[in-house]
Every structure is written in structure tokens, then in C-alpha cells.
Copies of this chain bind each other. A is one copy, B any other.
């Protein structure tokens, strides 16, 4: 196993200078067609590739590395988002660096990695927001995009769901089919996006003249949490005809929890989730929900990142991603 060929090797074989080689592989540099051809041939023969690590050492050229800080990858909506983000970054010429982070992890590791490899930017998408990460990024001037997270600092861009719209749409969907007595089900611990959506929902419920009959809680905003919330709801002996759940996973668990007790949706109550994960469309659930387009989310992140990188000193924008109702069986009039 020999070490990879360098520009010098190529230059020697092609009978030109190192610079000629460098220029051949630099966009918009001036090389004659003849030299270029000679270089390309030699490069091809040797299997030469530009070493981007060395290239980015020249402070002019930025590193092209972008950190993708992610938690809760088991959440399929998150997985889809990460996949799209990675593809988008690659398409834009960046190299995504996957930095998993979960509650309890030291933020130091993540920060060190970003700084050690002087990334040209970072996208942070995790529910439980380690504010320190954002703080450090700001401190070291790393362009930062936060997804569905509370604002941190002046110069970070944020991309988030239009939670106000989503909350109100959820209420309207229920109102449209004649619901009057409403339940909200979610996780007990407050979460930024979900909390904002809940507040908008509750507000709109009142505005539309429906009655908020109660709340039901689960531990986490996942399937298990939904089951807990169903049990919580049933134990309260409330009478409701419509409900909104924190997100789709939670809603599916809620349905399963009700089902386990012999009830069914929409017979017992109409139900609206949020996100439109793949599973929501499965016949076993057929859940009405609010679609948040992962493509749009991704696009917004990439645009915001590009903007941050281009003008790191400016104040970061907040981009809101719209949602559209997807009507399915869980809100079908019976």
C-alpha cells in the first residue's frame, strides 16, 4: 500500500509545474487546454485526487465541512430530515459531519469536533437544545442554523414550523366537523415548538367557541407517551368529541391506548396530529394531521446556512415553514 499520489507526482509525470496541476483542478483558473490535457492524463494514470484537507488549510478556501448536530434519530421524521439535509449539503458542495448528541452527553465533545475541524457552519436539529453549543458557535463565529429551537444569540438563523398556524389549523379542523368539547394531549415537559403550537391551539379553541375540557399527559412525545396519555385521559372520566396531540407519534400511541381500552377513533373522538409521518397514513391509524414538508424545511436550512456563511455578521433570520392539513379517517364524521 503506497501513499496516495500528490500534485508533485502528477506534475513530474506531466512535465509541468505543481502550480499547473493545482490550477487544472481549481475552478476558473487560467490553464491552456494543452497543459490541462497533459495534467489530466497524468492525474488519471496516477489516480490523483486533490487533497481537500490540505486545500482548506489555505485560509482562503473554507473547509466545506458542515456539522449536522442531531438527536433522536430514531424518530423517523428526524431521520428523513437528516437524510435530506445531508443530500442537500452534498449537492451544495458541502460535507456533512454527523454529530449525534443526546441529553446527558457532554457538549464539549460536539463543540470540540466542530472547532477542531473548523467547520464552515453547523445545523442543529434536536428537541432538547443544548444552548451551550449555540453559545460556543457564536463565540467562535461559526455560522449556525437552528431547527425548531428557541433563539440563541443574534447571529444565528432559525428555521421552524409556523407553530401558530399549525395550532390554529388543528383547532379549525376539529371545529369544521362540529367538535365542541376539546382535549389536548402531549408530553408533560414543555418543548419549544410543541409548546408554542399547543398555545396557539388552545387560543384558537377558545376563539372558535369550543370548550377545552381537559389535558392528558405522557412522559415523552413518542408512541409510549401517547399510550400513557390515553390512560391518563380515560382515568379522568372526561367527555370530549375532539382532540389534538403533540405530534403524530404521540397521536398513534394515543390511538393505540384508546384501542387497548376498547375505544376507537373517530368514534370516541376526532383526532388531529402533527407532522404527517409515514405511519400516519397507514390504514391501521389513518390519522388526520398537519403536514410539515421536510423538503421545504431542508431547503430553508440550506438557504439560511448559505446566508449565514456569506454574511456571518448580520442578524440571523427566522424562517417559518408552513403546514397543510391532511384529512384522513380520524376526523371523519360518523
A interface with B by C-beta (< 8 Å):
1, 3-4, 47, 49-54, 56-57, 59, 63, 68, 70, 73-74, 76, 78-80, 82-83, 86-87, 90, 95-100, 109, 112-113, 115-118, 139-141, 223, 252-253, 255-256, 259-260, 278-279, 282-285, 312-313
Known: A49-B116, A74-B76, A86-B100. 7 other contacts (CB 8 A): A1-B141, A47-B140, A51-B116, A68-B98, A73-B80, A73-B83, A86-B98
Q: Are B109 and A90 in touch, CB under 8 angstroms?
A: yes
Q: Are B98 and A52 in touch, CB under 8 angstroms?
A: no
Q: Which residues of B contact A53 (CB under 8 A)?
A: 53, 56-57, 63, 117-118
Measured between alpha carbons, how far is A302 from B157 in the docked complex, in Å?
35
Measured between alpha carbons, how far is A86 from B86 in the docked complex, in Å?
14
Measured between alpha carbons, how far is A98 from B49 in the docked complex, in Å?
20
Q: Separation in Å of the A316 CB from the closest CB of chain B?
A: 14
Question: Which 7 pairs of residues, A with B, have the shortest CB-CB distance?
Answer: A79-B79, A73-B83, A284-B284, A52-B116, A98-B98, A49-B115, A256-B283
Q: Are A259 and B283 in touch, CB under 8 angstroms?
A: yes
Q: Which residues of B contact A1 (CB under 8 A)?
A: 141, 312-313
Q: Separation in Å of the A320 CB from the closest CB of chain B?
A: 25
Q: Are A252 and B282 in touch, CB under 8 angstroms?
A: yes
A87 with B59, Cβ < 8 A, contacts A73-B80, A139-B47, A282-B223 known: no
Q: Which residues of B contact A100 (CB under 8 A)?
A: 83, 86-87, 90
Q: Separation in Å of the A213 CB from the closest CB of chain B?
A: 25
Q: Are B74 and A83 in touch, CB under 8 angstroms?
A: yes
Measured between alpha carbons, how far is A112 from B87 in the docked complex, in Å?
15
Q: Are A118 and B68 in touch, CB under 8 angstroms?
A: no
Measured between alpha carbons, how far is A51 from B140 in the docked complex, in Å?
14
In the complex, which residue of chain B has the Cβ closest to the Cβ of A53?
Answer: B53
Measured between alpha carbons, how far is A3 from B59 in the docked complex, in Å?
9
In the complex, which residue of chain B has the Cβ closest to the Cβ of A285?
Answer: B284
In the complex, which residue of chain B has the Cβ closest to the Cβ of A117?
Answer: B52
